[in-house]
Every structure is written in structure tokens, then in C-alpha cells.
Structure 1
């Protein structure tokens, strides 16, 4: 086993990932004891997330371009890379705006905003760690297994539910959904303020998308016949759970502020609506790319029982 292979296994070991996650979250908690984050502390947090995120993206992109005897694993890697890139872009935009404000002006804090920032950081760390864990098993299946196509049964006529699934996970459907999201958010943000019913509609749409996806991918982990493939789904489901948890916390706090704060957030942080729109777009695109990814995950689940390890003639995990 080469040094590179050993490094991959070390990084993707769940114990190493657990140490990284705990250390990062504990460090962030210590920074937030005074309920403020200084510039150098924000830079440290941001650089960690940027390195993690783009390491995952580059690894997945590289994996998707490598030859394999299980073609769908390339599609899964490609879909994961696109999905994770949406979070990476958000991290870049968020920290660029945050560092700019910390360097150029005295930042005005919305009440309990430090708590939301800490939750956001923890969620991103956990989501990245979940994807890294899934990536380790995806790499294993990609490199070491081949699909025995001659043993696969002939395609049967799709049921109504399967036909609906194909329509929903089609790239054109997802593009329409993203277009509607952009249109909706542009309309409600025209006056630079989001009222309660607008925020509730936006939040509920993300809740439905996120938790349906989480439930579906979790069900794939239960249905699949191979433990290694199940772990891929578990890692992705964990990342989705983390993002869904952030959405719940964010909108819970957001609705509380709209209802009970005497002064609107827009009056305290005038340009915050821009970041809110970017956040919403990123989350919507993240969930939409996950919808397309689920198509490949479903296909992988169907094919995995016809995989054999290279050099062997029958199934062996």
C-alpha cells in the first residue's frame, strides 16, 4: 500500500473525522465565549472550511474522471462534487463579506447572531466530514469493484411511481425548480425586506425538500445489499441531516426575530438581505443538485448486487 493510499485511508477513517469535527467545534465554542468573533478568529474558521470544502471537491472531481469498471460510481462522484461545490461557493461569499465588514467597519450584531454563526460553522464541519466519510467508501467501490452486466436482468416497464421519480430527478425539472426559486426570491426581496409569511413560505419549501431527500437517501441505505454502498448513503444522509438542522435553527430564529424584535434586522444590518438571498439560493441549489444525485444513487443501489471484487468470481464484500 502506497503512502498516498495510506493517507486517504487515514483521512477518511471515522475516528480521524470525529477528532477533526470535535476539535473544530470545540475550538469555535471557545472563541465564542465572549459572544464575539475577532478577525483572526473568523479567518481561522473560514480557512478551515475553505480547505475542507475544496479538498472534498477536488478529490471527488478527480475520482469522477478516473476509469472504473462501475460507471455509475463516476456519476455519483460527479454529482457529489457539484453538490458540495454549492456549499463551497457559499462559504467563500460568506467569509469574504464577513472579513470585509470586520476590517472596514464596526460590525453591528443582531441579538443572538453569534449563536447562529456557531451553528452554521458546526453544521458545515459536520456536513463536510459526512461527505468525506462517504467519499472513502465510494473510492473503495470505484477502484475495486466491477459490474457484471451479463447477469443483470432485462429492464422492465417502469411503474407510475418510478416514472414520477425519473421526472422529478430529471435535470430539466431541477432547472425549472431553481428558476422558480430565483424568481420567487427576487420578487419578495424587491423591497429589501422579508415579512413573516414570505419567510415562512421560503422556509417551508426548504424543509420539505431537505427532509424528503434525507428520508429517501436514508431508505436507500437500508435497502441496499452491500454494507460499503450503504455507508456511502449514510455519509450523504448525515450531511443532509446537518444542513437540514441548520435550516431549522436558522428559520426558527428568523421567525422569532420577525415576530418579537422591535427593530427589524434590516435596520441593524442594512445589507444583510443580500447574504440572506445568497444563502437561500445556495440551499435551494444544494437540495436541487442532491435531487439529481439521488437518481444516480438509486441506480447504484440497483446495480450493487451485480458487482464483484476485481480478481474474484463471486460476491465478496
Structure 2
């Protein structure tokens, strides 16, 4: 399939740059795949579409303050997104700055407490760097929430706020490891989760640590040629058994977000409860575990939008997105949500 098949026009004013006042105040688009029926609700109304016996799968990864501001040693402004710390005082990072980054170039971050020197660049733009200084301490004291670049660009500042620290994180985040939030989960409050449990819905956690590859742009025209690089996932043996038992019993498996979908469909195929997954889901795809999906509205031509199209069909998803745009829904990470039944 061609990448252009997964494009759609979006008015720029619908790109959300701030969270809603309350987590559950987002809009919720209900899409029924069997009837193509669409309904407009508030996120707090999600309980109307859940039933006793359902299994709600959440990704409990926690977003790290992985972004550092600084400058080139020659003076120009720069920022670094720390993707992974490696042995021998090295790290894997993305570097943002004006002009080309050269091998052997030095950057200074965190008020001069950290120096990163570029060693080698891989095929997807990540740099391996030598680290001078205490990187963990720098992230703790100077690290910023790694908001998507389109948010900081529209805000016209690279700084983040205390509200971002609170709201660009799910209420059930417990396992450190991500450089982006599993955004479909941002809409849940602790109170709403309690209400969902009272219905008789089983809420089970999985972990997928979101790295660069979840949001890396697709640059090939034939989507089948796009390569996903591995991200770490983990599911406890108990949760794994409960998921497969629920599926055998005919109960609905409802995935919160595309990352939960990728974990579920990975273990359905490998039967391995933890490891590294490079699963790229695109049409046509046979979903073995996921029955329903909660998701935000994603960037055109992204692997996330492609995954959603694989689940519900390109035509239906494009129709749903048109309805969302027509009704003023907010898009992307801080935006509204869609429940695919």
C-alpha cells in the first residue's frame, strides 16, 4: 500500500497544545465497526460502552524527563532527547539544532554539567554520544517533559510546565522507560477507573516503553518497506494468563492505545511475555487478541494512524476523522479520543 493512502487534511487550529481542564473532559468519538455508526460523547461516558467481563488493557509505562536544553560548544542552541543510556559512559540520543551535526562535535547541556560528544549516527538519525558528567543527575535536576515538537513549536517555547509534568503522564504510570506518553490513557482519572471496575471490567497492565520508533516518520512510499526498530515490552505471567483466559471465554479485550495493541498482538504471536517487539501493524492484518480499541487522533501518514486503519478499515477511519474535524475535536497527544467497537 502507498503512504499517500494514509493522508488526510487537518486544520491547524485543531491541533491541541494544552490538556483539557480535567482528564475526563475530553470528547469521545464512538465508532461501531459493524454498523459504521458514529456517536459523539464525553470521555466520562465511556462507561456506557463497557460491560461486565470486559478486559481493559492499559500501558503502565512512565514518561521520563528525557529532554535537555543546551548549546553547541561553538554557541548555537541545541536540545537532546535521551533515548537510551549505554555502558561505558555512552548514550543514544536525538539532537536538535540549526545546521548539520557533525561526528566529533561537542554539545553542552544542563547548565554546563553535561557534555555530549557525537560518535556515530545510525540510519534513522539517532546519535551515539560519549557522555561527560552525571547524566542521571542532569536529567533529575534539569530534564524536561519530552513533549512532541509540534506542541513546543506552536507554543513558541521549548520549556515545559508543571501542568505538563502532571498531564503528560497517565495516572497509572509506574514503570520508568518512555520518551513519549501512551496518550490514549491520559483521559482516565483514578475516579473513572474505579467506576469502570465497579461495572465488572477487569483492568490489566502491560508495559511497552515508547521510544523513537513509535513516532518516527514513515519515509518510504510503500508502507510495507518501513522498518520498525525494537521497543521493550513486558507482561507478567499472571496478566498474560488472564488475557488468554478471557479471550478463550469470549470476553472482550479492549486495548487502551496503540502501544497496548502492539503488546497484545506481539504476545499473541510469540507467546513470549517479555522482550523486544518490532511489530509494524498495517492493512491487511489479522488481530488475534484485540476486540476493541481506545485511541487518540493521530498524525497523517504515521505508523499509529496506519495501525488504526488496519483495525477498522481506511474508509471508516477517514470518515470518522472527517466527522471529528467537522465537530471540532482536538487532535494528537493532548487531543480527544475515539473508541472503536
Calculate the TM-score normalised by the size of structure 2. Answer: 0.19
**Larger Rg, first or second structure (1 or 2):** 1
| Bigger strand share | 2
| Bigger helix share | 1
